[in-house]
Amino acid sequence: MLSQTFSLPDAPPPAAGYSPVVRRGPLLAISGQVPFLPGRLEGPVPGFREQARTVFGYLVQLLETAGAGVPDVLVVRIYLAREQDFPVMNEVFDEVFGEVRPARTTVWVDLPGGLLIEADVLAVPGS
């Protein structure tokens, strides 16, 4: 089965050998998104709330580029640099997902260069 790949038109290319979005059969996988400044491999956007909104905004844009939307999300994996940001992340998550309740994993990791959050998504478009 062949895969389709997608990216945002104004997004910088991936920093390594991967695709931002891959669709294979009914599954859509979106690679980890970080809060770099829009259109550049630099940043990050200042402040945790802004970083979280940027990351989730990129995920929504990539879903839409691949013909999907928030209701199609099956799993969200979130990586936080600081445990103290968990409550704010939940607020932003609820802004984006509302009543959609995908499965979710949140872990604390060492993110480089001032990044405070990264997230990726698995979706099933049209589900």
Does the pTM surpass 0.85? The reply is yes
What are the b/e assignments for 74-113, b being 16+ CB within 10 Å?
Answer: eebebbbbeeebeebbeebbeebbeeeebeeebeeeebee
Helix residue spans in the chain (DSSP H): 48-65, 86-97
Digitized pLDDT (tens) for each residue of the chain, 127 residues in all: 556 766 666 666 667 777 888 889 999 999 999 888 766 666 778 899 999 999 999 999 999 989 999 999 999 999 999 999 999 999 999 999 999 999 999 999 999 889 999 999 999 998 6
Domains of the chain: 4-123 (3.30.1330.40)
Structure tokens at 66: 């691949």
